[in-house]
Chain A
Amino acid sequence: MRDIAIVAYSQSPCVADAGAANEVELIMPQLQAVYAQVGIDNAQAVDFVCSGSCDYLQGAAFAFVAGVDALGAVPPIKESHVEMDAAWALYESVLKIRMGHADSALIYGFGKSSPGELPTVLSQRLDPYYLAPLWLDTVSLAALQARLLLEQGRVSERQMAEVVQRSRRNARANPLAQLAGDPSLDDLLAEEPFVAPLRRSDCAPVSDGAAAMIIATVEQARTWGVPYARLTGIDHRMENHNPCLRDLTRSTSTRQAAEALGVSDAPVDVAEIYAPFSHQEILLCEALGLGQETQVNPSGGVLAGNLMMASGLARVGEVFRRVVAGEARRGVAHATSGPCLQHNLVAIVEGA
């Protein structure tokens, strides 16, 4: 099997409202940044391009096609898209390279969530007969999950506040974060309920922005002569779409993906976890089998800024940056999709 190298990564700041910028204008600066890291001109220099986005976010039909205007697709390029987080565009690209259909790939994800009402927009991901007509929004569904965990004594409100506090503190060192600070646990716990038992700080903010990455075979990475990290494993598992048909207090799909990859076979220095709600981070650390030695979400995670359709890719990118910088030898990235952690992806990034 061909080894995969991550060679470049860039993310925009997470902002509450990107103003007039359209998808092309969101994507282009990140593409230019990863081109510059590798020393290439445009998407013609890679064998495959794959993107992740969802047109429902900004309410623009075929925004994912319009986004291709950012690439420079003359002469034609090999291009694909997933209506998912770009972490799954990374997965598709990894398959392409492993199958020998490409030696390099450009991956990008973008989300402009500010034009719509994100929790309501995401209710339309639910099944169209029973749940979507109820307009069950993502925050309410996550609150049901949090309530179960609290009632079972699996997590406490204080532990949830600790997750938020650590996110805000870590985000102070992340110039791309939307929310950063040093709140006390008492201040966080004194917040009014938002969708009980969740407080507003337990929920990821709504953010606009984009992220991009370039991966390649190790041989291609050496030819480019750039620092790289190895993507030594990537796996994803999906649970039932109906939240009533699964155990919301565990992330079975995350655990299975982590076990299949052997996450616990060696020390994990750093983990970037896609937990849009504070209680989910606790659940996911458990499912990934992480111990005290692992630094979790040093970027602040998505509680500090949540680029829908790009934050999963950004988790991989954050681990990549730390591995290449020598801050970590082996890291784990996690991405999620669907209500209450329905679908989960786990990736392992290691030093070259």
Chain B
Amino acid sequence: MSEDVAVMQAPVYLQYHFTAGRAPTRFLRRLKEGVLSGQRCPRCSQVYIPPRGSCPACGVATEEEVILSDKGTVQSFTIVHIPIPGNPIDPPYVVANIVPDGANISFIHLLSECDNREVRIGQRVEAVWRPREEWTWAMENILYFRPLDEPDVAVERIGTLPVTGLEG
């Protein structure tokens, strides 16, 4: 009867009606239409995706919505070689920070249809969308990004391209 109690089960379940926020809601509504959008800071002009309602650098509200390209530039990447529990993607696969043209910061997405050994910073990529009838309020509308046949972007220019891309 002197057995130590080493483990007890006390599961916690809490239910929430989560809301994304007013600025993220605008972003998600555009995403359902197959469009990437951001918001521009009225003070420093940086364009944020996904927008959160403020410029974190200046601390002011962002209101102006900016339509972005679904083409972009690889800012950084990693190649995942280990299986992650619950992740349906078979390794090795590429996870990349991608700056869409017209924005100044990156988001994280998958990079595919490529030779993993040739993925590099500055590489030009474009979104591969799911069929239109599957679009919802989620980044999964984009299956992954794939390389574009365009010249690389110099490191110092990554995050500065206009919405018209390299040509602009």
Contacts and interface: CB of A to CB of B under 8 A. Distances in A.
Interface in B1-56: 8, 10, 12, 14-25, 52-56
B80 interface: no
Interface in B59-88: 59-61
Nearest to A69: B56
B57 A24 contact: no
A69 B18 contact: no
B58 interface: yes
Nearest to A59: B16
A21 to B, nearest CB: 6
Contacts of A326: none
A259 B18 CA distance: 43
A63 B150 CA distance: 39
B19 A22 contact: yes
A24 B59 CA distance: 10
A70 B59 contact: yes
Contacts of A16: none
B56 A28 contact: no
Contacts of A73: 56-57, 59
Interface residues of B, number: 25
Interface in A57-74: 58-60, 66, 68-74
Nearest to A70: B54
Interface in B118-147: none
A25 B23 contact: yes
B59 to A, nearest CB: 2
Given A72-B55, A74-B56, A115 B17 contact: yes
Taking each of B15, B19, B24, B59, which has the highest tally of chain A beta carbons within 10 Å of its own beta carbon? B59
A72 B21 contact: no
Contacts of B53: 22, 24-25, 28, 69
A116 B16 contact: yes
A128 interface: yes
Which secondary structure dominates chain B's binding surface? loop
Taking each of A21, A31, A124, which has the highest tally of chain B beta carbons within 10 Å of its own beta carbon? A21
Given A31-B59, A70-B59, A72-B58, A20 B21 contact: yes
Contacts of A116: 14-16
B18 A59 contact: yes
A128 B9 CA distance: 10
B59 A21 contact: no
A115 B19 contact: yes
Taking each of B10, B54, B56, which has the highest tally of chain A beta carbons within 10 Å of its own beta carbon? B54
Nearest to A27: B54
Contact of B19 (A20, A42, A69, A117): A20
A124 B15 CA distance: 13
B22 A20 contact: yes
A9 interface: no
Contacts of B54: 24-25, 28, 69-70
A117 B15 contact: yes
Interface string A70-97: 1111100000000000000000000000
Interface string A30-50: 010000000000111000000
A25 B58 contact: no
B52 A22 contact: yes
Contact of B22 (A21, A58, A115, A117): A21
21 contacts: A20-B20, A20-B21, A22-B21, A22-B24, A24-B21, A28-B61, A43-B59, A59-B14, A60-B18, A66-B52, A69-B53, A69-B54, A72-B56, A73-B56, A73-B57, A73-B59, A114-B17, A115-B17, A115-B18, A124-B14, A133-B10
Interface of A: 19-25, 28, 31, 42-44, 56, 58-60, 66, 68-74, 114-117, 120-121, 124, 128-129, 132-133
